[in-house]
Amino acid sequence: MPKIPGRLAVLPLLSTLLALSTQTIAVADPVRQREFILNERMIERLGTPAAPPACEPRTVVADLIRQIGPSATVYPTENYYYFNFFQDGKSYSGSLRFTPGKREKGILEFACYETYASWLQFDRDADFYADLSEKDGVRLTPREHLDFELAVDGHATVFKLNDVDQTPNPANLTSGERFAGRVFDESGLRFDLIYIPDRKVFFFVLDTRTPVAETFVTVSENVHLGRRTGFVFYEDKIQKRHILIAVNSEETYKNSWLDGPFDQLPENYYETNGFWNYVYDAYPDLKGRLTANGTFLDNGSIFAMMPYRVYLSQAGLAFIKTCQESNADRTDLLVCLTNGHDK
C-alpha cells in the first residue's frame, strides 16, 4: 500500500476444504462476540466538522489512541497500524508505522489521505506523510522486545509488534528453493516468502499451519479464489501447498487491505533470514541503494516486491490456462503463474 510514495513494485485437510466452497476455514473465537460495523455510526461521523483539518497528525494520533485504549496489536509484518475515519463528508485512510531504525529513536511514521475511489482522480501529492516525535507532541518509547508505548496529550497505548515465527516450514520448500521469511499480511493471511536462486524469482505460499481466515471457491482445476480477499491460489498438489498467483486490481488501485502482501515483507527479521542476500542475488542493481531496513537512499521510499499477477474479474485469469498449456515443468509453471514469464 502506498503509505509512502514510490514503492517498487494449518489445517491438514486444506485441499479438501478448498474444494468445499462453503466451508469456513477460520476458527471462531468462542469468547468474543460479533463486532458490527454500523452504517449509523458512519453517517454520524460524516458530519464531523472540518476543524481541525482531517489529517492534522497530532489530533489524529490523539483521537486514535484514546479509542484504542491501553494496548494494541500491530499484525502486518512491515509494522503498519492501519485506520479509517470519516470527517466533513469524506472518507480518510491512514497508518502509523513503527519503522526499524526510527522507532528506537522515538520516531513514528504517520500517513493520512483521502480514501481512494475508482470513480475519482486523486491528487496523491495531497497525501500527508510525516515523521512524528516528541517535538511534535508525540512520544514513542521502546518497551520490552517488540513493544512500543505511544503517548499523546496524556493518553498512552502500548503497540505490540507481531513476533511472527520465522522457522522455515520444510513442507513448503523443494530442494531448489530457499525460505526468505514469513509475513503477516493486513488481509489477515500469513505467507511464506520463497526464493528460487536458479530463476532469480520470489513467490508467496499460503501458511496453513495455523487456521486460514478465508473460504474459497474453486474456479478451475487447482485454482481457488478467496471469497473475502479476492486472492487467487494455485494448488501445487505434489508439494501440497497453495501458491499466491493473483490479487484483484481494483483493490490494488484503492490501496486497500486486500491489495496483496507486496508491502508486508518480514521487516523485523531481515538480518535473521538473510533476506537481503536473496534480494541482491535477484536484483544486483539494488546493491548500495538501500539501507539495512529497506529504505531507498535517494528518495526515502521503501523496497517492496510483487511476485503475483493482478486481475479485474475472473475473465482476467485466462493467463492460468496459458501457463498450464505452455509449461510442462512444475518450476516453469510456477514462474509463469507468479512472475509472468517463462524460464
C-alpha to C-alpha distance for 263 and 2, rounded to whole angstroms: 9
- With CA atoms as reference, report the closest residue to 168 among 260, 272, 73, 75: 272
Contacts 24+ apart (CB under 8 A), 105-110: 105/133, 106/133, 106/134, 106/139, 106/140, 106/141, 107/131, 107/132, 107/133, 107/140, 108/61, 108/132, 108/133, 108/138, 108/140, 108/150, 109/3, 109/4, 110/57, 110/60, 110/61
* pLDDT exceeds cutoff 50 at 292: yes
Domain boundaries, the chain: 14-27+165-339, 39-161
Mean pLDDT over residues 81-97, rounded?
Answer: 95
> What are the tens digits of pLDDT across the range 162-216?
999 999 999 999 999 999 999 999 999 999 999 999 999 999 999 999 899 999 9
What pLDDT is attached to residue 331?
94
Indicate whether 16 pLDDT > 80. no
Other beta carbons less than 10 A from residue 289's beta carbon: 13
pLDDT at position 341: 63
Distance of CA 206 to the CA centre of its chain: 13
Task: Tell me: pLDDT of 9 over 90.
Answer: no
Residue 253, SS3? helix
CA distance 319 to 65: 45
The confidence score (pLDDT) of residue 29 equals 57
Once rounded to an integer, what is the mean pLDDT over residues 4-11? 35
- Cα 154 to its chain centre, rounded Å, is 31
